[in-house]
Structure 1
């Protein structure tokens, strides 16, 4: 695992790997993809990046550590979530899932009302699984994928690795780095607010949804950032993911489809240090909030963009989610072959989402460090497809003898009071002796806070 982490750290920083302790093995989760190694590397990279910010403050970070068992729990954190001891509502919509077309499998992602409506409209069916299955069975997987995507929905047919590598989007994604950090403007060197935490006093404006972006914001909050998650009151949310990823953040609403809302967003950006967003590439730029425009509002800003399929290629603006990227890129097809089944077999976790979130947090903290040491405004980009390509490049492991259901994770969860009730959650992962990461409070109800910056406190 040391070599995996060293490669990530070199990509992010151009530096050699500092002292780090990586413990545990890769026999925890089923399948042959090295999910544990990738997750532990992402967690270690984020914790190392936090440690380097401590060094800037004159604080010895100590030897950073990450453990594969904790990493395996962290990339499945939503599976451990309980509300007052009970399972939360399932994040999956009633017609979401895998369907067998006339020539292969296709996944329909219909967890949001507008995506469910796109499936129903494009296929001419009611929102009933049997009706969807019957209609899909009479079409090719490519016809279903094209129809749903054209209607504004989200779908992906099952492709092999070779098919993905030959696909124009697969080729485009292969040409992109795991994480891109680039300076996009000049600005004086930033100054860190006096704090004993890596990101103490750093304001992070989070404009994200679903999982990868919120995970990144959750990591930044655990290292002391003042994270304000901004959403819209009229948009639907997935309660389980909101509860699981909201720790340490405040939550406010801003209507970006109004002139007043966009004016408020400009004020928030002008006083932010980081803007983290997971809109589709180009979506914010079309309403005047591209990285360069935001850097003009706040010179020295770090902007971070997360996408599904990457920021280049014919699918750059396509709606995508972890499960769809696994279908499209060959991961679910290889999983099926290894398992000896004809059904798509994904990774044993939403590992692309979670690992991308940890890597994004690492990249953001590295960029924040550069604004202090070098100055300038910086732009960070990552994608689920890029993380999937990197995971594929790590080789394979022997399938786990046990399953995640037989591994004891009980010491890695805790109960906390929240606006939703008593939440059971996975503890924050990553060992940083100089300033152990922790959340100052549990998840807030969506929109419970004013969309304003609070005064900085140490």
Structure 2
């Protein structure tokens, strides 16, 4: 597993791997893909990046570590979440799921009402699973995917790995690194706020939605960042994921479709150190917040751009979610063959989302370190499809059913939602153990402004 981490660290930083302790049984998660290895390595990479920031502060970080069982729990954090002893609301919409088409399978993502409406409009059916099932069965999977995407919805047909590698978007992703970090502007060297935590005093503005982007902010908050998540009152949310990924953050509403809201966002960015965003590529640029405008507005900013299918290729602007990328890229098809199942079989966790989130946090902390040592404005770019390609490159393991006790990795805390049971923050950093200063706030509960560190 250390060789996986060494390759990842080299990609992220260009440096040899420091001393680190990683290990554990990969069969802590079932299936043929090395999800546990990816989880452990991405968590270790983020923790190592935090350790490098501690060194800049003159603090000895100690030996960084990541335990495979804890990593597996962290990658399924939403499944372990409880509020007052009860599981959170089901995140899946009633029409979401896998449907058999005339020549294969297609997944429809209908967790948001606008996406459900797009499916119904594209297929010409009412919002009932029976109607959707019948109509999809009479069409090819490609016809369904094309119609739903054209209508503004989110869908993916099940492709094999070979079909994905031959697809124009699969070819585009094959040329991309798992994480790209580049300097996009000049700025003087940053001075770190005096703190005993890696990101103490660092202001992070988070413009994200499920799931990779919020995981990024959650990791940064655990290492001491001042994180403000900005959403909008009128936009839909998935309560379970909002509760799970809001740890350590403040939550505000800003209406970016208004002139006043954009002015408020501009003010927030002008005093931010980091911006994490998961709008579709080009969406923020259309309202005046593209990378070039951001570099001019806030020299020295670190920008993390997360997308579904990557930043180049014909699908660069396509809506996508973890489950859809798994269908598109051959992961679900290979899972089906390994399990001897008729329909798609996903990974045992939303691993593309979680890994992308942890890797984005590692890239952000690496970029913050470079703003201190070199100066400059930096942009990190990651995608779920790129993370999927990296997972594919790790090889396979024996598919072993797994029953693991994670109870010792859970903790109870008071939150705005009630008594919350959550997975403890993963990653070992003796010099500044990661922690969240508070549990998740209700959406929009905080004023959209920066507080003193």
Tell me if both proteins adopt one fold, taking TM over 0.5 as the criterion.
yes
Deviation at 1:116, TM superposition (A): 0.3
Task: Give CA deviations for 1:284-314 in whole Å, capped at 9, x if unaligned.
Answer: 0111101121111111000000000000000
What is the DSSP-based 3-state SS (H/G/I as helix, E as strand, rest coil) of the residue aligned with 2:250? Answer: strand
Query: In structure 1, what is the equivalent of residue 138 of structure 2?
Result: 138
Query: In structure 1, what is the equivalent of residue 406 of structure 2?
Result: 409
Count of residue correspondences: 453
Alpha-carbon separation, structure 1, partners of 2:431 and 2:23 = 19
Query: In structure 2, what is the equivalent of residue 427 of structure 1?
Result: 424
Structure-1-length-normalised TM-score: 0.98
What is the DSSP-based 3-state SS (H/G/I as helix, E as strand, rest coil) of the residue aligned with 1:241? Answer: helix
For structure 1, which runs of at least 5 residues remain unmatched after alignment?
Answer: none
Query: In structure 2, what is the equivalent of residue 298 of structure 1?
Result: 298
For structure 2, which runs of at least 5 residues remain unmatched after alignment?
Answer: none
Deviation at 1:23, TM superposition (A): 2.3
What is the DSSP-based 3-state SS (H/G/I as helix, E as strand, rest coil) of the residue aligned with 1:314? Answer: coil
Paired residues of 2:338 and 2:399 also in contact (CA < 8 A): no
What is the DSSP-based 3-state SS (H/G/I as helix, E as strand, rest coil) of the residue aligned with 2:86? Answer: coil
Query: In structure 2, what is the equivalent of residue 155 of structure 1?
Result: 155
Query: In structure 1, what is the equivalent of residue 452 of structure 2?
Result: 455
Task: Give CA deviations for 1:232-261 in whole Å, capped at 9, x if unaligned.
Answer: 010010000000000000000100000010
Query: In structure 1, what is the equivalent of residue 439 of structure 2?
Result: 442
Alpha-carbon separation, structure 1, partners of 2:444 and 2:142 = 40
- 1:95 aligned onto 2:98: no
Query: In structure 2, what is the equivalent of residue 325 of structure 1?
Result: 325
Structure-2-length-normalised TM-score: 1.00
Moved over 3 A (4+): none
Paired residues of 2:307 and 2:384 also in contact (CA < 8 A): yes
Task: Give CA deviations for 1:65-117 in whole Å, capped at 9, x if unaligned.
Answer: 00100011000000001111011110000000000000000000000000000
Deviation at 1:185, TM superposition (A): 0.4
* Aligned 1:36-435 pairs, distance under 5 A: 36-400=36-400, 402-403=401-402, 406-435=403-432
Paired residues of 2:99 and 2:133 also in contact (CA < 8 A): yes
What is the DSSP-based 3-state SS (H/G/I as helix, E as strand, rest coil) of the residue aligned with 1:91? Answer: coil
Alpha-carbon separation, structure 1, partners of 2:345 and 2:256 = 38
Alpha-carbon separation, structure 1, partners of 2:82 and 2:439 = 13
What is the DSSP-based 3-state SS (H/G/I as helix, E as strand, rest coil) of the residue aligned with 2:26? Answer: coil
